[in-house]
Structure 1
Amino acid sequence: MLDGKKRADIIQGQLVDIVLKKDQRSGNLTRGHVARILTNSSHHPHGIKVMLKEENQVGRVQVILDK
């Protein structure tokens, strides 16, 4: 499993676990498929920011579940 800190590892439609802004303190993860990649830089230490297809939720990728 990849940790989601490199933009090149993430593709649209991929199943990922993200942490939403409201869940950053608790660390609760939300699972969904990537609709859009929002971070422009090639690397981010807290995870690449994405929007999920499910309910258009936005958060940072913590775990990439499929390749």
Structure 2
Amino acid sequence: MNGMLDGRVRKNIRPGTAVAVVLKADQPTGALTWGRVAEILTNSSTHPHGIKVRLTNGQVGRVQQIYDDE
């Protein structure tokens, strides 16, 4: 699938997915951090601010953009 998937929908995100997240510290500025998902931390199927994930580098943030590179 090409194009952007919604980062507020949990089913769009899997471990290994390439994403852009907003870290807690960056919420006032909205600065994006790029990485791959190591673990999904949000249990609900959707979240209005983005699904919370842990990246492979250990950083935690809410998914803003998803890049499906499969």
Instruction: Quote the RMSD (CA, aligned, Å).
Output: 0.9
Q: What is the distance in 2 between the residues matched to 1:3 and 1:19?
A: 14
- What percentage of residue pairs aligned between the two structures are identical? 62
Partner of 2:59: 57
Q: Which has the higher strand share?
A: 2
Q: Which has the higher helix share?
A: 1
Given the alignment of the two structures, is residue 28 of structure 1 paired with residue 31 of structure 2, yes or no? yes
Unaligned runs of 5+ in 1: none
Unaligned runs of 5+ in 2: none
Partner of 2:8: 5
Question: What secondary structure sits across from 2:11 in the alignment?
Answer: helix
Question: What secondary structure sits across from 1:32 in the alignment?
Answer: strand
Q: Count matched residues.
A: 66
Normalised TM-score (structure 2): 0.90
The match for 1:38 among 36, 41, 44 is 41
Normalised TM-score (structure 1): 0.94
